[in-house]
Chain A
Amino acid sequence: MSAAELLGELVADPVEGDVPEPVVDRLGDEHRRRRRRRKRRPRDLGEGHAVDPVRVVRGQGVADDVSRVMAGDGESLVAERVHERDQVVGKRAGVVPIVRLVGEADPALVDCDHLEVPGQRRHHEAPRVPVLGPAMHEQQRWSVTPDDRVLAQPTGRDIPARERVGEPLRETWCTRGGARAVRRHVAGHVDLLVLRDPIALDGRYGDEAWDVDYFLHENPELKRTAFAWMTDFVGWLPMPEGGEPDAFLTADYNAEMIEHVERFPRIRDAAIFVGNPMTSCPTTSARACHRSATGPSGTTPSAAT
């Protein structure tokens, strides 16, 4: 799927509902000057695709510069396409669709058929294999998975795993197994991950698919199939260099996952630990950690996340 097709598809399926009179917050002169100074890069959207246009979310002007990343060297590009009232005709005149993508909508990230990420280093020739001769394997093309987000983006930079996992929240995602996940910015600062299955699925089986698991617990009404959650470790743990903030955030994340499971036990039809009790790293209960980090002390039975 091309960027244009993606935009077209999403615009054709806009946010439903009446929208009050739009309040248009146009960018200031300084922003416009910055935009003119910026060199075009290969990943910019083409003319006609608003890179830095008007910000309108559910009829409200967005005054938060942080929410929109200005394209700069080394920085992800956030593109928003906004239909203003006079650009929308007919019965959709009261609808303001917002599409927010990070960078150009790479087919590699949107369409799982050809997972090559432009701009990232790759092989230019088939490596030779002893005896077997030249070899090319699907795995070479299958380079974007949720797990990869933990490690793949930096080269030589040792970033805490917790931060790496947080990064995809700004990106278009792709899931395994032929299902496509396209992230939409629909209203305010609410992010909606739309799972688009090219075929009807009988089940979704996620091996450390943290994103899918989190999304389904946050949007339980969008669960369409059986979901089996698998992991080979239990509990996010702080690293010493992260200090107290890392301890708090990992405990909080563990507690959030426990609360997810407690609140919506129907989301995970199966939760499978790949290993045995002997190989599970002994840790303090995440909730106990959380309580300790937030004040009152206490102990609870350990709970798997």
Chain B
Amino acid sequence: MTGFDPAPLLERRQELRREFGYRPDERVVIVTVGGSGVGEALLRRVIAAYPDAERRIPGLRMLAVAGPRIDPAALGAPAGVDVRGYVPDLYAHLAVADLAVVQGGLTTTMELVAAGRPFLYLPLRNHFEQQRHVRHRPGRYGAGRAMDYDDSSSEAIAAAMAEEIDRPVTSRPVETDGARRAAELIAALV
């Protein structure tokens, strides 16, 4: 499903965190809304939750990934929030983070499920794939916490972050043979 095996990442979790510049005492929360501009409102709302979340989560370090369609400088993030336009190997950052707050894309959410990370996701309101198909899939693995954007104030998001970051993850493991099986089907056509 994810296109990568999360096991080596998880085995090197502490080493990767050092490589990424995350200190041992930091609680790393990554906020990412995909590669389009439609997630700007969500990004702003989660960034606005930072002061409240910082009080609730000692050592909080928030990394907000703006992506190619949102100007990082225009987000007006407060000091303490690290806003970047692009993070290479974001999946690896997500795999070693303490929590993620994302939109409702299937790839990102399933990467988090596969890596066994706690996360909040807020699907686009009228996006049937995010609202119905994607909600169904992490739910079947027992992973992630879905929130409705309209009902989720910055305060509610900060509270949910504090609740989820220390919650033990008990989700089902994600299959790792999907790429091989797809390759077998496609190889037969060449």
A residues lining the B interface (CB < 8 Å): 120-123, 127-132, 135, 137, 139-140, 143, 148, 150-162, 202-203, 205, 226, 228, 230, 232-233, 236-239, 241-242, 250, 269-270, 272, 274-276, 278-282
User: CB < 8 Å: which of B22, B88, B125 contacts A158?
Assistant: B125
Determine if B106 and A233 form an interchain contact, defined as CB atoms under 8 angstroms apart. yes
- Asked whether any CB of chain A lies closer than 8 Å to the CB of B11, the reply is no
Determine if A232 and B185 form an interchain contact, defined as CB atoms under 8 angstroms apart. no
A139-B85 Cα distance, complex, nearest whole Å: 12
B residues lining the A interface (CB < 8 Å): 1, 19-22, 34-38, 40-41, 68-72, 84-88, 106, 124-129, 131-134, 136-137, 140-141, 175, 178, 182, 185-186, 188-190
CB-CB under 8 A from B131, the residues of chain A are 239
A148-B36, A155-B69, A203-B189 known; A135+B127 contact, CB < 8 A: no
CB-CB under 8 A from A272, the residues of chain B are 182, 185-186
User: CB < 8 Å: which of B128, B140, B190 contacts A226?
Assistant: B190
User: CB < 8 Å: which of A132, A152, A269 contacts B88?
Assistant: A132
Q: How far is the CB of B3 from chain A (nearest CB, A)?
A: 10
Determine if B175 and A226 form an interchain contact, defined as CB atoms under 8 angstroms apart. no
Between-chain CB contacts (< 8 Å), 10 pairs:
A122-B68, A123-B68, A127-B87, A128-B84, A129-B86, A132-B88, A143-B69, A152-B38, A160-B128, A275-B137
Q: How far is the CB of A217 from chain B (nearest CB, A)?
A: 18
Determine if B86 and A160 form an interchain contact, defined as CB atoms under 8 angstroms apart. no
Determine if A281 and B68 form an interchain contact, defined as CB atoms under 8 angstroms apart. no
Name the residue of chain B whose CB is nearest to the CB of A269. B189
Determine if B69 and A152 form an interchain contact, defined as CB atoms under 8 angstroms apart. yes
Q: How far is the CB of A157 from chain B (nearest CB, A)?
A: 7
CB-CB under 8 A from A238, the residues of chain B are 128
Determine if A228 and B186 form an interchain contact, defined as CB atoms under 8 angstroms apart. yes
CB-CB under 8 A from B34, the residues of chain A are 151
Determine if A281 and B136 form an interchain contact, defined as CB atoms under 8 angstroms apart. yes
Q: How far is the CB of A305 from chain B (nearest CB, A)?
A: 12
Determine if A156 and B88 form an interchain contact, defined as CB atoms under 8 angstroms apart. no
Q: How far is the CB of B1 from chain A (nearest CB, A)?
A: 7
Determine if A242 and B126 form an interchain contact, defined as CB atoms under 8 angstroms apart. yes
